[in-house]
Every structure is written in structure tokens, then in C-alpha cells.
Structure 1
């Protein structure tokens, strides 16, 4: 019975998109729904650290490529920034947080600062471009 309940929860979460797994809607732009939440992710050394987890849902029938800047503010001043570029997402698909590697680990903030009301983040310059198809890196011929 427990397995059935877990299965139903998993299916329901998949059908209802990112909102069922704790993400907050951030913005909708050109058929791309962007959601965020704070959680933990492993850095390059394998250490779990606070991270901005990002979820994207492409509601278009065609693949898109998206890029954006992440701006982190503390006490009204820009303290850290990052950029994610040219991420491909097939039509009617989603990519979520740690599962798909879409997250940002701040390097210049303590966990306390990230929870402080003086901290804020902005996703800026979100660009969404219709493309013919997504290409896996394994499919790109190596020279």
C-alpha cells in the first residue's frame, strides 16, 4: 500500500509541474515557466551547500534554448552574479533543480546571510529562443 501511495504522489507531482515540489513561480516568458526555491546541492568537491534550485517548464510544442543572469544582492548592493547560457529544453518538457543540474551555489554568502531579509536575488535578461532541436553533447562530433 505504501508503494502505491508513493507512486501516486510521484505521478501527481509530475502532472502538476514544479509547484507541487516546493518551487515558487518566478516568471513566465515566451512559453518558458521559471520557478525557484532554496535547497542544498553538491559543489565540485562533493560538499553539500545552500543553492538556488531552478525549475524550467517549456510549455511550447517546440524546443527552446534559454539563457539568463543571476544577480545576488545583500543590503541593496550587488555582491555576486553568475550566468547560465544556452540550455536546451525540448517542447512540453521540464528540467528541475538538482535532478537536471540546474542550480547556482553562491560562493560569497553564509547560510545566515542567505536567510536574512537583507538578501535578495534576481534572474535577469532571461532570453528564450525557439530552436530546431536539442542536441546532446554526446552527439556532437569531436575534432
Structure 2
């Protein structure tokens, strides 16, 4: 079988990544996109030619003006097709550390309306359920030192 035919038959996925950033109280940094109702992670799709770590670092710089070390992989999350997205998403969540305060955050106003730090219970009210599940898994993975896979 020719390589182009073989590869054309394979399942396609969209890679995405985000930074798990907390304040000194352990609350998680989330952002409010201006193009949907619910909040989300500082992160996004991995661009062609990028690794998930590079995509995470770029998205943190672009969305919230933070240049942080992209640390340990906490969660890999398989998210099925949703709404207009025709392929599943494979989401990588990296530990990007703790900020002493939010003073260094500069919001990307073209895409985002707001940012804030949230406890898991508070995040449950503003995140889609599958992202809230990822947040709780990230908190647990950081505490345990384990990598978590969600589907």
C-alpha cells in the first residue's frame, strides 16, 4: 500500500496544550474567552511544527503575557468531537508553576475578556464539565507526582 493511501486512512486528532498555573493559595489560573460563554485554560491548539510544550509556552505568552518554564506533564486528555470540531482533541496539561501574585498577567484583549484564580469548586461553576474534570485531575497529578490520562 502506498504511504499516502495508508496515512490518509489513519484517525486524525487535534493537539492542544495548556499551562496549569496556580497562585500561592493553590487556586488555578483560568481565562474568559470573548468567543464563548464559559471560561477555559490559558492555552490552545499546538501549531504545526511545535511540540505540545512549545505550544503551551507560546499560548501562555500570547494569552496572559507570562513567560514560564513548562514543567512536568500532568494530564493527557482525550476529548471526543464537539460541536463544530470534526476531530477528537488530545490535550496536554503541563505544570507551569505558582505565581506569587497576578500582577504580571497581561491579558490578550483580542481573544480574552478576563482572567482569575479559581478553586476547583469555583471552577466547576465556570468551566465545561470535561474541563472541570481536567482541572481536578491536574490538581491531583501535581500533588501525587503521577501522570493522569482522561478519556
TM-score, normalising length from structure 1? 0.26
Compare CA radii of gyration and give the structure with the larger one: 1
Decide which structure has greater strand share.
1
